[in-house]
Structure 1
Amino acid sequence: MVRVTGCPARYDEELGYWVVDDPAQARGVLLDPETFRPDNAVLAHTPLSVKALRVLSAVGFALPPALANNAGESHRPIRAAVARFFSPARVAAVEPLTRRLTADRVAAARARLAAGGQVDLVAAVAAEPPALVLMHLLGLTGVDVPALKAWSLDSLELFWGWPDADRQLELAHSAAEFYAWLRTRTSAARQDGGDDLFGVLVALGLTDEEVCAVGYFLLIAGQETTTQLISTAFQRSVGQELADVEGVLREASSVPTWRRVTSTAALVGEAELPAGAPVLLGLSGRGGSADLAFGVGIHRCLGAGLARLETRVALECAEELLGESRLVEEPPMIDLLSFRAPRRLLVVR
């Protein structure tokens, strides 16, 4: 039986997970992907209804093992192919673009505040630059960024939220629309080739479903989680000393938890977890390092360096804006199983 040392895990009846809050334990779990598998990483936390499944089935929606949920032999080549888009050199090279996109939006926001208006810092500044930078890195053109942002938020809620039946059906229609778009891009790449994300994945020999599975969560995680990280950093900086990126990652990352499932019985501290036990790992806000917010081991976030750069640039560009602003309301939150951030940051001068 495998043992992860430290304080014991605890079973949370309400969540239905074995919760591992201790950073050292969480790290140990992530470094043992054979015992603590990623099979449940992108499963819907709230089981999908028959109606929602029918909507998804109509577009061939499928999420075979690709990146975050892949413990098989195909993980390494897929990860290597995607990692090339996020090499340190490529990430460093997008800093001027990131700074220009952010500075333009900050200037527009300051002008609106100076005229006596209100500004939502999430929508006005934090939302679009990470998506535009990601499209640039992945070589993707013709992407409707507002649609991508809406698809992203809906998919996060569908897979990590607690939607009731009516809301779940709405979210399923949104996810189906996103997936149909991914299928269109995959078909075009299969016909025309190319060196963008879809062309590279097709050339790797992946099936259409595998290409779409990579694209589905990469296009969400590669930009929406950074928008949420920037939003949290902004919230902590409005009318105050500028937040530190590493401090935000340690204390309030936009991805505070992640999931695993045991392949065999395992001991976490003195707690004995049976085979097939769902595990929820605390990654942020529990005294661990900033790096833990991006995971460790073979499934560490490929965009960690990019997220840090974009958040740092956003804070630098918005320092004066944040210093001269004040919040006009308690921010409503995105509060999902594994994602947490302000949904809106309405400020006045």
Structure 2
Amino acid sequence: MSGCPARYDDELGYWVVDDPVLAREVLLDPRTFRPDNAVLAHTPLSVKALRVLSGVGFALPPTLANNAGESHRPIRAAVARFFSPARVAAVEPLARELNTTRVAAAKTALAAGQQVDLVQAIASEPPALVVLHLLGLTEVDVPALKAWSLDSLELFWGWPDEDRQLELAHSAAEFYAWLRSRTKAARETPADDLFGVLVGLGLSDEEVCAVGYFLLIAGQETTTQLISTAFQRSLGKVVDPAETVEEVLREASSVPTWRRVTAEPTTLGEVEVPAGAPVLLGLSGHGGPADLAFGTGIHRCLGAGLARMEARVAVECAAELVAGARLVEEPPMIDLLSFRAPKRLLVVTDGNTGDN
């Protein structure tokens, strides 16, 4: 079946669709190809991990990415207002300031002969700070949010063994407990931030936490990963920032795949698939348009415009630094079912040995 638009992958356990035209058709047909499995754990969770999660009331009811019901539209509309084109444009100066400050510090370190990790030094925190600003959230431990995000991505889209699952579950439980505390505070003191708006919709605590859980991950960690890949592709080159971002989205997006499940027997291309068949859609790297990296249809990424802007600004601000830098080592990768990017980009400038 190697030449077919859809094939069953025994190792992954999914019907894989790499053809971008067919992937788009699937995304535009949420009745047949439901999003119910979008945020399920790829590797079934152990009893011990589930106990840790249940201890904090962890639940991910249908809200955004995994919601095919009537509640999807009002929840999406409420969240979308935080990411309007006008708000994204207004926050660009903040993104530029955050990147400029970090690039300057990295340049100083490199000039002193030090090694610099471009991911941690520049790409990591600005997307989190920007999305928290847009969502009206203050007093957030950003390093903790970054750690929670990476752990949760691995827990739900990775291949952790039982011991690793237990570690990741403790991290996810800590994140969820924080979300519960913010939800409780929003009920006691209403505000015009993310939690206040969701509470105002009449959502349950579990629904508010479910929105917050993945929005606070997807709203910043995937952008960090997009920027990291753009930096990797720009090393030693003079690039056009906007073109580089679009190239990465087309060829090596931080979210290269996404999941659906069939509601009934149907066809993928000319391949018959049964009801309940898990489907893995290739969004990037298969000759499709850059925009497909953000999905399409009713579940298209709400932060597409924000991610593009932040990645462009990051590459613009770091262009001179990255053009004069070289890798010290082959980058270790975040390599999950639906997330891929360099975990670290350790560099020095030409003329430095990196031994200091």
Shorter-chain TM range is over 0.9
Instruction: Determine the C-alpha separation between the residues in 2 that align with 1:269 and 1:257.
Output: 18
Decide which of 214, 219, 231 is 1:217's aligned counterpart.
214
SS of 2:259's equivalent in the other structure is strand
Letter in 2 for 1:303: G
- Of all paired residues, the percent bearing the same amino acid is 83
Output one character per residue of 1:302-343: Cα deviation in whole Å (capped at 9) or x when no partner.
Answer: 000000000000000001100111001000000000000000
Q: Retained in 2: the 8 A contact 1:154–1:171?
A: yes
Cα distance in 2 for partners of 1:88, 1:116 equals 41
Alignment of 1:45-194 (within 5 A): 45-194=42-191
Match of residue 3 from structure 1: none
TM-score, length basis structure 1 = 0.98
**Match of residue 302 from structure 1:** 302
Aligned equivalents of 1:92 and 1:254: distance in 2? 23
Aligned to 1:257: 257
- How far the C-alpha of 1:56 sits from its partner, in A, is 0.1
Whether 1:241 aligns to 2:263 is no
Query: Does the Cα contact within 8 Å between 1:7 and 1:268 map onto a contact in 2?
Result: no
Aligned length: 344
Q: Structure 1 segments of 4 or more deviating over 6 A?
A: none
Gaps of 5+ in 2: 350-356
Contact 1:261 1:276 in 2 (8 A): yes
Q: Distance in 1 between matches of 2:106 and 2:171?
A: 30
Q: Which amino acid aligns with 1:194?
A: A
What TM-score, normalized to structure 2? 0.96
* Distance across 2 between alignment mates of 1:9 and 1:271: 7
CA distance in 2, matches of 1:266, 1:295: 21
Tell me the amino acid that sits aligned with residue 80 of structure 1: A
Tell me the SS of whatever aligns to 1:255. coil
Give the whole-Å Cα distance in 2 for the aligned partners of 1:7 and 1:36.
19
Query: Distance in 1 between the 2:117 and 2:5 partners?
Result: 42
**Counterpart-to-counterpart distance in 1, 2:319 and 2:30:** 41
Residues in 2 aligned to 1:278 and 1:245: alpha-carbon distance in whole angstroms: 30
Q: Could you tell me how far 1:8 is from its partner in structure 2?
A: 3.4
Superposition CA RMSD, Å: 0.8
Q: What's the CA shift for 1:270?
A: 1.4
1:7 CA displacement:
4.3
* Maintained 8 Å contact 2:5/2:18: no
C-alpha separation between the residues in 2 aligned to 1:262 and 1:327?
A: 44
- Once the two structures are superposed, residues 83-115 of structure 1 have per-residue CA deviations (whole angstroms, 9 ceiling, x without a partner) of 000000000000000000000000000000000
Structure 1 residue 241: Cα displacement = 3.3
CA displacement 1:283-312 (0-9 Å, x = unmatched): 000000000000000000000000000000
